[in-house]
């Protein structure tokens, strides 16, 4: 049965250590200065001494109605059998239409290959072999969770029944498969 | 930018080369329209206008396409755009519209510039059909430049609908009018000393007024932030001032006082068209 892979980001547990950022760069050989994922701090909120911020992991949101896939002129951007959005490097010409369409700024033109690059959930190197994406397995605060929503017993499915997972920019109707848990952070 | 603490800014995926291409494709479409419509409806009166228009169309569309290819991440793989087709992608459809237009413009240019000699008289039977088909493709090319941006439904500015009708995007209409206006202006620059061009000047004024109306509707349809910061200068000085209001006033003066003001007016209209493409491409991505 096809999988419904999802990533859950529990923001209250993220300490902003960037282990995910670094693990991703090592795993995927991402060129210097470019990132498939990064975890920037949000703007500081409140007035001294009552101030707060949190870190929010950014990467491809694995939309199920992905603007990048529909605009791609060569079908280089596609959904694979498990609903993961991927880029076929042989078909991509680097027109950057998908980058203009992506509302999450998740894509970039890889300066070494000349084609568009982004998070793949480490599909080829990890997930297809039954492992978890590099960022998830390295996360020191257990802020990241990865699993199959088609399996009701998976950790991810179980977690989402108890916690409210929210997607980014839901008003755009892109149906992302990356969920954010805001419990315990000040938005 | 600092990866962790820096203020995140919207990245510009499409920059100057794309804006310039959209401008050139518009000029090409408009210049072809000017030449072919003149050819079909008053052939013998304005031979210089026809020659100027078709030459400008060919040169601008070829430079524009060259610019597009060079701007790709992998320029040498541009041929894959012809091989792998996605009928759901406006760009994929556009590849064929613009390629068809380029081919027709070159054939039409050959018929106008070189095919007139006595032994090639037979070829002239193709001229009007080529002009007619070319009109469809030039309108297609001009509107395509708008559809390319308006198809990005996640972009609040580019996706702006016409008068709130969600099925009718705004940019294709605006770019078609701007393309016709700038293409006509560029053609007249190439034929500025060819006698009485009053009819063209009047058409140009109508187009400028129409574009002013459209720009006003756009201004009222979208969030004011799109007209702020550095974009405010480009919009008010480039698009509205230099591109529309000043040329409109000068051409009005020219017509009432029988002065030849073709060169200044048309130059300003062309610069205004370029400003409009830069404004739309950038402001849609900055905010």
Which of A55, A67, A96 has the CB atom closest to B14's CB atom? A96
In this model, does residue B43 exceed pLDDT 80? Answer: no
Higher-confidence residue of B46 and B119: namely: B46
Question: Residues 6 or more apart from A117 whose CB is under 8 A from it?
Answer: A30, A34, A36, A87, A107, A108, A109, A110
Which of B8, B95, B152 has the CB atom closest to A101's CB atom? B152
Is residue B28 very low, low, confident or very high in pLDDT (cuts 50, 70, 90)?
very high
Domain covering B16-286 assigned CATH 1.10.286.10 in the classification: no
Give the pLDDT of residue B120: 65
DSSP character for B125?
G
Give the pLDDT of residue B58: 97
Q: Mean pLDDT per 10-residue run, chain A (187 residues)?
A: 93 95 96 94 92 95 97 97 95 96 95 96 95 96 95 94 96 96 92
Question: Residues 6 or more apart from B249 whose CB is under 8 A from it?
Answer: none
CATH topology of domain A5-64+120-181: Alpha-Beta Plaits (3.30.70)
Percent of chain B exceeding pLDDT 90 equals: 76
Percent of chain B exceeding pLDDT 70 equals: 95
> What residues of A are in contact with residue B153 (Cβ under 8 Å)?
67, 172
Give the pLDDT of residue A132: 96
* Furthest C-alpha separation in chain A: 54
Q: Mean per-residue pLDDT for B141-159?
A: 95
Q: Mean per-residue pLDDT for B66-95?
A: 95
B92/A99 Cβ within 8 A: no
Is residue B197 very low, low, confident or very high in pLDDT (cuts 50, 70, 90)?
confident
A115/B73 Cβ within 8 A: yes
B78/A67 Cβ within 8 A: no
Residue with tokens 């991440």: B73
φ/ψ (deg, to 5) at A147 = -175, -175
Give the model confidence (pLDDT) of B236-261 as tens digits. 999 999 999 999 999 999 888 888 88
Is residue B122 very low, low, confident or very high in pLDDT (cuts 50, 70, 90)?
confident
Is residue B114 very low, low, confident or very high in pLDDT (cuts 50, 70, 90)?
confident
B10/A94 Cβ within 8 A: no
Is residue B8 very low, low, confident or very high in pLDDT (cuts 50, 70, 90)?
low
- Of A53-67, A125-139, B9-23, B95-109, the range with the lowest mean pLDDT is B9-23
Cis peptide before A183 (omega within 30 of 0): no
Is residue B60 very low, low, confident or very high in pLDDT (cuts 50, 70, 90)?
very high
Give the pLDDT of residue A88: 97
In this model, does residue B1 exceed pLDDT 60? Answer: no
Task: Tell the burial category of B193 from Cβ atoms under 10 Å away from its Cβ (0-12, 13-18, 19+).
Answer: exposed
Closest CA to A159 of A170, A138, A145, A177: A145
Contact, A36 vs A28, CB < 8 A?
yes
């Amino acid at each position: 049965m096809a999988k419904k892979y999802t990533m859950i980001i529990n923001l209250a547990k993220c300490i902003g250590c960037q282990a995910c950022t670094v693990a991703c760069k090592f795993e995927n050989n991402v060129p210097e200065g470019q990132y498939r994922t990064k975890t920037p701090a949000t703007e500081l909120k409140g007035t001294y001494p009552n101030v707060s911020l949190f870190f929010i992991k950014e990467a491809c949101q694995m939309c199920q109605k992905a603007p990048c896939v529909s605009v791609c002129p060569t079908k280089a951007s596609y959904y694979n059998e498990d609903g993961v959005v991927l880029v076929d490097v042989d078909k991509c010409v680097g027109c950057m239409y998908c980058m203009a369409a992506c509302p999450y700024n998740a894509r970039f033109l890889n300066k070494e290959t000349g084609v568009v690059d982004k998070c793949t959930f480490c599909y080829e190197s990890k997930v297809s072999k039954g492992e978890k994406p590099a960022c998830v397995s390295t996360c020191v605060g257990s802020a990241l969770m990865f699993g199959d929503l088609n399996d009701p017993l998976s950790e991810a499915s179980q977690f989402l029944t108890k916690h409210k997972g929210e997607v980014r920019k839901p008003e755009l109707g892109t149906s992302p498969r990356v969920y954010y848990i805001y419990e315990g952070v000040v938005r | 930018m600092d990866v962790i603490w820096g203020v995140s800014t919207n990245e510009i995926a499409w920059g100057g080369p794309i804006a310039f291409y959209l401008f050139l494709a518009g000029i090409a479409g408009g210049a072809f329209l000017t030449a072919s419509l003149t050819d079909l409806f008053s052939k013998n009166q304005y031979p210089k206008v026809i020659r100027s228009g078709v030459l400008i169309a060919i040169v601008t569309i070829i430079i524009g396409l060259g610019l597009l290819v060079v701007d790709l991440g992998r320029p040498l793989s541009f041929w894959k755009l012809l091989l792998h087709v996605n009928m759901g992608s406006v760009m994929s459809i556009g590849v064929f519209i613009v390629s068809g237009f380029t081919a027709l413009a070159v054939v039409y240019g050959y018929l106008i510039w070189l095919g007139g000699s006595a032994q090639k008289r037979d070829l002239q039977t193709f001229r009007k059909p080529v002009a007619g088909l070319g009109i469809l493709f030039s309108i297609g090319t001009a509107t395509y430049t708008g559809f390319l941006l308006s198809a990005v439904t996640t972009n609040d500015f580019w996706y702006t609908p016409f008068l709130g009708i969600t099925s009718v995007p705004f940019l294709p209409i605006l770019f078609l009018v701007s393309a016709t206006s700038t293409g006509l202006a560029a053609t007249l620059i190439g034929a500025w000393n060819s006698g009485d061009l009053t009819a063209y000047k009047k058409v140009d004024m109508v187009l400028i007024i129409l574009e002013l109306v459209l720009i006003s509707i756009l201004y009222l349809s979208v969030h004011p932030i799109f007209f702020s910061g550095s974009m405010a200068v480009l919009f008010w000085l480039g698009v509205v001032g230099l591109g529309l209001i000043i040329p409109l006033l000068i051409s009005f003066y020219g017509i009432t006082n029988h002065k030849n003001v073709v060169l200044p007016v048309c130059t300003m209209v062309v610069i205004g068209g370029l400003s409009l493409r830069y404004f739309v491409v950038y402001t849609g991505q900055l905010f």
